[in-house]
Structure 1
């Protein structure tokens, strides 16, 4: 069983920390850049945090095509062919790529069982009935996940074309030019099962297109992917499409924090070195100050540190402490941002 260990649900990345200070040497307020999540287009319920991925699309009509033999088949047809090609590698690539994308989004824990292909007797073009609630519950319990994502149907149709033209070259005489294209139409249907609920359904249909032109056939076809590669690309494209629907995207945002020494601030040095824990310890010590201004600014910085760790509730708590200790406009603005993040339900 391939188990993708949990990333923190709300994952923030510090980057480009050194050199992003945009204020003068006398300022006590500076900025850094973080990445924050943007809600998914078709966001799943907040109680779905972990997903098992399985495949119910493979029928007896599927084959594990060898790249060379499949390409040779199309060449022998003059590369002028329209054919449904059901490749086991392509459909499994969809599952594997989708698992990696969901995991990398930071939104989900993902489990891909070794025995992930479910029995199917229907022909590839038919959509199977929904799985029973009992079976779904059993799978979710077995792999300790909240939901089950199943690739229910998968098909790819490859359409190729080839043409050659003769022309008179003033230098070499009679010559040839060649043109080839490949269209790959895919269809995929997914269900996301949550025990006790109606499944969420996602259907995707699209076409990927390649073309090439050259004066030799060798160079012509070197510019095109092989048919096998095109099928694999379709599996990856499907995974990207599904991930784009149910996973958050990430956008860069600025965050500010206070300095206690505008020329040589210890907290800033630690943040620039990505030593957040040590910066937290420094700010906690400052939060014990008898000066309300120093204490309030330290509490503000601790709110930021909590956000960087994905703890939005903790960030709000520290932000409120700062607000009531020593009012600053930056604190009020930051608290509004934190409340908006909490309402987005992208964090725990």
Structure 2
């Protein structure tokens, strides 16, 4: 699959981006975790078509203003081009990922009825003909986009500060079609974009917000780009924590960790885990090994060590409550990652 190979070549190995920050009794690290997309594309889908199957909402629908000295007021905002901007942003973001060989966007709406809120799917025969004409094997259809936005204000008494805000919630309905296989997958999604302005003067706070129509267009661009994670596996930054305690072996392992010598740190801490008799040290060392193996990409081994830390915890009467939260959290992270692995492998063609 050409699109899989291109995508894999564009991935930067997350080990290079790892950094460590010390805090009391803990060492914080941030890693990038690959998450599966919401949709699974068949392996033979290399050319994708994106279509607009939506109608714009009325100008008076979904826009409210609520200021201190005014009642809740509906206002009129022209939002006819939201679908166009959102899809253009999505198309550009997906092309940058190089997951598919080609992505083509149809700008004109193909929706036959005039309802902006009711979801109707494109006719299959029409999509079959469209795929033939455009040379596509799959189609992403935007069937609805509605924005509900509110302009309001708050007052922070502790800071004597006025805060004006604009919150826009974008309501999407998507469908993915594989006409040759007579398959369709549909889902709804929401995304929120928020603007804020603050000042010691109320009028300045309100005037500091962007033009409302321009902001809603910017929001459509932002949410459109974010939507790429629905269709292509994506990287997500996640926090992990190492335990620190007084032990020479532990310190030696951290010395190797700081220079990214993962194998040396694993050897040192594995020896520590086998030789220590203190259960609290066993829990923390097994947890540290779990995080290390996750950094190396061995999720199963990471999960095994995490389970070992959990097993020792269940056999101990007293243990720091705050510490066990990190152990339980790590175990849940890894359980979820293992569950996602088969889905990721399928999406990446492995």
Taking structure 2 as the reference length, the TM-score comes to 0.51
Q: Hey, what does 1:143 align to over in structure 2?
A: 134
- Unaligned 5+ runs, structure 2: 17-31, 238-341
2:223 maps to 1:230: no
Residues 1:123 and 2:107 aligned together: no
In structure 1, the residue matched to 2:171 is: 187
Deviation at 1:154, TM superposition (A): 1.0
Residue-by-residue CA offset, 1:167-204 (whole Å, 9 max, x unaligned): xxxxxxxxx96432222122110111111323111211
Unpaired runs of 5+ residues, structure 1, are: 1-5, 20-34, 64-69, 167-175, 253-339
Alignment of 1:77-88 (within 5 A): 81-82=73-74, 85=77, 87-88=79-80
Q: Which residue of 2 aligns with 1:9?
A: 6
SS state of the match for residue 137, structure 1? helix
Aligned residue in 2 for 1:294: none
CA distance in 2, matches of 1:134, 1:229: 38
Cα distance in 2 for partners of 1:134, 1:186 equals 30
| Structure (1/2) with the larger helix percentage | 2
Whole-angstrom distance in 1 between the partners of 2:345 and 2:36: 11
Pairing of 1:1-348 with structure 2 (within 5 A): 9-13=6-10, 39-59=36-56, 61=58, 81-82=73-74, 85=77, 87-108=79-100, 109-113=102-106, 115-128=107-120, 130-162=121-153, 178-195=162-179, 196-217=181-202, 219-221=204-206, 223-249=208-234, 344=346, 346=348
TM-score of the pair, normalised by structure 1: 0.52
Distance 1:98 1:14 in 2: 19
> Aligned in 2, Cα 1:163/1:102: closer, same or farther, shift over 3 Å?
closer
Give the structure with higher Rg (CA): 1
Q: CA deviation at 1:91?
A: 1.7
User: CA distance change for structure 1 residues 78 and 137 in 2, over 3 Å: closer, same or farther?
Assistant: same
- Partner-residue secondary structure (3-state), 2:9: coil
Is the contact between residue 56 and residue 83 of structure 2 (CA under 8 Å) also seen in structure 1?
Answer: no
Structure 1's 44 and 165: CA in aligned 2 closer, same or farther, altered over 3 A?
closer
Shift of 1:36: 11
Count matched residues: 223
- Superposed CA offset, 1:270-320 (max 9, x none): xxxxxxxxxxxxxxxxxxxxxxxxxxxxxxxxxxxxxxxxxxxxxxxxxxx
Q: Tell me the alpha carbon deviations over residues 113-157 of structure 1, each in whole angstroms, 9 at most, x when there is no partner.
A: 3x53224433212112x2222100111111111111111111111
